[in-house]
Amino acid sequence: MSRHAADITRWERLALIAAVVILLSPGIYLLRSRSLAPPPPEAPAQFVGSEKCKSCHEAAYDKWRGSDHDRAMDVATEATVLGDFGNGTFFDAYNNVTSRFFRKGEKFFVETEGPGGERGEFEIAYTFGVYPLQQYLVPFPGGRLQCLNIAWDVDRKQWYRLPPLERITPDNWLHWTKGGQTWNVMCAECHSTNVNKGYDPATDTYSTTWFEIDVGCEACHGPGSKHMEWAGKPPLARAKIENYGLAVRTGDLDTGELIRICAPCHSRRFQLGDNHHQEGDLLDLMVPQLLNEGLYYPDGQILDEVYVYGSFVQSKMYQRGVRCNDCHDVHSLKTHKEKNELCTQCHRAEIYDSKAHHFHKKEHEGKPSEGHLCVRCHMPGRYYMGIDYRPDHSLRIPRPDLSAVLGTPDACSAEGCHADKTLAWNIENYTKWYGETRRPHYGAVIKAGREHTDGADIELIRLAEDALLPAIVRATALSLLRAYPGEASQATLARALEDDDAVIRYTAIRSLEYFDAETRLKRIAPKLYDPVEAVRMEAAMMLSMLPEERLRRDDRDAFHEALNEYRKAMLYNADLAPQRYNLGNLAVNLGDEQGAQADYEKAIAIDDRFYPAKVNLAMLYNRQGKNRLAEKLLREVVAQEPELYEVSYSLGLLLAEMKQYEDAAYYVGRAAAGMHYARAYYNQGQILVALRRPEQAEQAFHKALSLDPQDQDVFLALADLYLRTRQVDKARAMAEELLREHPEHQGARQFLQHLGQ
């Protein structure tokens, strides 16, 4: 072959190779692109059950077995039922009802007052709790489980009636057959593991499920399938994976991280959705209650059934890094040590477990005394559910002097201590022991804020901005600031919106509700992008009060997403009156009056005593011109809650609008006396003028003027009354006195000039 022919052959081969490469390159590219594509999303971990944990974690399992968590709920059987179902009876004197407890074969029954007051026999399906009392659950239509209001006292071995100890009629929300005792909404999420409530607002039914009937391992550690898969391999084959494949990290946690695991159950809260036991911010799952009136005393001591979270996060222990598991074994729930030895794990016994510190003997009159125990002074408790004693976990220093000022419980006067002594006696002896020096306490400020005391905003601002105070105290101060709109409050709330703690940001948004639209728009819109769900959704709710076109176009998508989060959370809890009420408020904000009316009516149907829904529905009726319906609702609220003077005020103004002046004068006057509100006295005076009662009108105007001398409307109304009743000298004297006390009073100055002319 010639050299020329060889060259041609070589080029032909190269061309052939190039052609093949060109033909194959799309396939090679596709294979390469597939290899570079992101892997498919990993399937989420699944729940496996506590029994699967036993083989590797036998010691922890044995501690958990038989604990309050393990026995939080169970199927009713011979082994789990503690109560006497041997045909015994219990007479409820409050309701005049006798209940009978009996068995049919292997099943347990109660014969008692049922729905509508009709007597019936009801099967017990589940036990609920184990000590110091046990309750029983009865299946009802619509997927409901109802908690019987007669429980078994484990120590006394007898049936007893649960509070409230009063007549509860069958139509009352608190009756055992109604919503206040529905397990699906009130109890389920904390007594079982991986509960899905499954409430359908359209049909008002439940399809509630759980993975494990009690509080199992995965209630704290999260779904364990990936951990099981990892642990099932030989030790050398186990890859190094984060947290050993467990969904929730439980080791090497600081106090805030640990309480995030415990708080979803051990707190008084508002749940945003099902707890799937995953990691995240606490306010992605729930919103804890603050130190609100009716739940806590002003100084933060427990009042209503608030569980532990809100108390513990107030404590110095929490602030200094003490964790739940420093006192409690996380599996058995028992304390690590007994009596003062528990506290002297950290506190020096020679100083604190000594008579020089606690001033109490271990024996009194030849009998053992508990006065020397740390918990007696620092953790006084209250009884809930009749017999369940729960210590206050705020671990506070006793302050009988504060009790005298605030009307709060005094540890020295607690049951079994010095209940027979006067508070003055306690203060005297406390002062002998510990001296006169007293630190200021936030309780005094919170009490003043609750009572809307003039000038309380200055101290509330100080509390809210004190970074050394517990977040729950600061947030409570912020919540009370909503009654004091002004530049200083606005500045404090604006700073709070940028706080590191989500509960403070959330509360700041809620407290901006009564500020002007421009302030709300400017301050709240950026929170639509907050990393925490509760903050985002509350921002959207507050912004829904404004026309959407006022939002920046770039913010509207975030607004709709956050509003959907809010709506979803409310629908999750739409079996509760407050959340139905919130949906009604949202509908009002969005201009859907028909939807608002339906939600308000549903809230009232759920709980006839939930007065905010009645008040807002009355306001809606008033705007629609349906004043008779509005009047009926407001009269119901005033009859149910006579001390809600604001509602009496609204009823009075409505009646005045309807020209029912006699009743209007009564209700506005009643509200004015209860509220000590200048504007209420002013309106009372105007109604009395319409009734041609000038002497009474004069008294009302004078009370208004004494409360707010600068109110020009009140001054002019009183001056006009004097002129029309030909009491010019009285008018002149009033104006001159006002000018002496308030030289800047323009109304009085102009009035005197007018008289001079």
pLDDT in tens, 620-635: 999 999 999 999 999 9
**Do 12 and 93 lie in a common domain?**
no
**Do 30 and 153 lie in a common domain?**
no
Each residue's pLDDT tens digit, 398-413: 999 999 999 999 999 8
The one-character DSSP state at 299 is: T
Number of domains in the chain: 2
Alpha carbons within 13 angstroms on the beta-carbon side of residue 192 total 24
**Do 198 and 108 lie in a common domain?**
yes
Strand, helix or coil at 481?
helix
**Do 24 and 84 lie in a common domain?**
no
Range name among 11-20, 184-193, 301-310 with the lowest pLDDT average = 11-20
pLDDT band at 32 (very low <50, low <70, confident <90, very high): very low
**Residue spans of alpha helices (H) in 525-644:** 533-543, 556-572, 577-589, 593-606, 611-623, 627-640
pLDDT in the model for residue 37: 60
pLDDT of residue 567 exceeding 50, the answer is yes
pLDDT in the model for residue 19: 45
pLDDT of residue 437 exceeding 90, the answer is no
**Do 75 and 200 lie in a common domain?**
yes
pLDDT of residue 446 exceeding 80, the answer is yes
Last residue of a domain, one of 190, 206, 222: 206
pLDDT in the model for residue 38: 65
Q: What is the mean pLDDT of residues 351-361?
A: 89
pLDDT of residue 715 exceeding 80, the answer is no
Range name among 115-124, 544-553, 708-717 with the lowest pLDDT average = 708-717
pLDDT in the model for residue 31: 44
Last residue of a domain, one of 206, 231, 254: 206
Domain that holds residue 176: 71-206
pLDDT in the model for residue 472: 98
Triad 513, 515, 520: Cα angle to 5°: 75
pLDDT of residue 30 exceeding 50, the answer is no
**Do 20 and 137 lie in a common domain?**
no
DSSP 238-296: ----GGGG-SS--SS--HHHHHHHHTTTSS-EEE-S------S-GGGTEEE--S-TTTB
Each residue's pLDDT tens digit, 378-387: 999 999 999 9
Give domain status of residue 182, yes or no. yes
What are residue 408's phi and psi, to 5 degrees? Answer: -100, 165
The one-character DSSP state at 90 is: E
Q: Taking Cα atoms as reference points, which of 124, 161, 162 lies closest to residue 140? A: 124
Give, in order, the Cα–Cα distances in Å from 26 to each of 17, 30, 32, 38: 15, 6, 10, 20
pLDDT of residue 18 exceeding 50, the answer is no
Range name among 42-46, 121-125, 363-367, 454-458 with the lowest pLDDT average = 363-367
Do you know the residue count of the chain? 757
pLDDT of residue 697 exceeding 80, the answer is yes
**Do 112 and 15 lie in a common domain?**
no
Give domain status of residue 188, yes or no. yes
Q: What is the mean pLDDT of residues 297-302?
A: 97
Give domain status of residue 176, yes or no. yes
Q: Report the C-alpha gap between 632 and 624 in whole angstroms.
A: 15
Q: Report the C-alpha gap between 433 and 662 in whole angstroms.
A: 60
pLDDT of residue 3 exceeding 60, the answer is no
**Do 95 and 16 lie in a common domain?**
no
User: Is the bond preceding 164 in cis, omega lying within 30 degrees of 0?
Assistant: yes
- Residue predicted with more confidence, 731 or 618: 618
pLDDT in the model for residue 415: 72
The one-character DSSP state at 370 is: -
Q: What is the mean pLDDT of residues 53-69?
A: 95
Each residue's pLDDT tens digit, 154-167: 999 999 999 999 99
19 CB burial (10 A radius; 0-12, 13-18, 19+): exposed
pLDDT in the model for residue 193: 96
**Do 175 and 132 lie in a common domain?**
yes
Give domain status of residue 402, yes or no. no
Query: Are residues 506 and 488 in contact, defined by beta-carbon separation less than 8 angstroms?
Result: no
**Do 85 and 143 lie in a common domain?**
yes
Range name among 69-78, 528-537, 713-722 with the lowest pLDDT average = 713-722
- Residue predicted with more confidence, 24 or 469: 469
DSSP-based helix, strand, coil % in the chain, nearest 5: 50, 10, 40
Q: Report the C-alpha gap between 724 and 382 in whole angstroms.
A: 61
pLDDT band at 132 (very low <50, low <70, confident <90, very high): very high
Give domain status of residue 345, yes or no. no
How high does pLDDT run on average in the chain? 90
Give domain status of residue 33, yes or no. yes
- Residue predicted with more confidence, 581 or 741: 581
pLDDT of residue 92 exceeding 90, the answer is yes
pTM of the entire structure? Answer: 0.88
Q: What is the mean pLDDT of residues 659-667?
A: 94
Could you tell me which residues come within 8 angstroms of residue 266 by beta carbon, excluding any fewer than 6 positions away?
307, 308, 309
pLDDT band at 745 (very low <50, low <70, confident <90, very high): confident
Best mean pLDDT range from 240-244, 294-298, 749-753: 294-298
**Do 154 and 32 lie in a common domain?**
no
pLDDT of residue 573 exceeding 60, the answer is yes
- Residue predicted with more confidence, 705 or 102: 102
Q: Report the C-alpha gap between 728 and 751 in whole angstroms.
A: 11
pLDDT in the model for residue 208: 97
Give domain status of residue 4, yes or no. yes
Q: Report the C-alpha gap between 109 and 124 in whole angstroms.
A: 5
Range name among 340-349, 434-443, 734-743 with the lowest pLDDT average = 734-743
Triad 8, 12, 15: Cα angle to 5°: 135
pLDDT band at 740 (very low <50, low <70, confident <90, very high): confident
Last residue of a domain, one of 149, 174, 206: 206
pLDDT band at 515 (very low <50, low <70, confident <90, very high): confident
Range name among 38-47, 255-264, 744-753 with the lowest pLDDT average = 744-753
Each residue's pLDDT tens digit, 188-233: 999 999 999 999 999 999 999 999 999 999 999 999 999 999 999 9
Partners of 234 in the beta sheet? none
pLDDT in the model for residue 23: 42
What are residue 623's phi and psi, to 5 degrees? Answer: -65, -30
Give domain status of residue 161, yes or no. yes
**Do 196 and 76 lie in a common domain?**
yes
Q: Report the C-alpha gap between 1 and 97 in whole angstroms.
A: 119
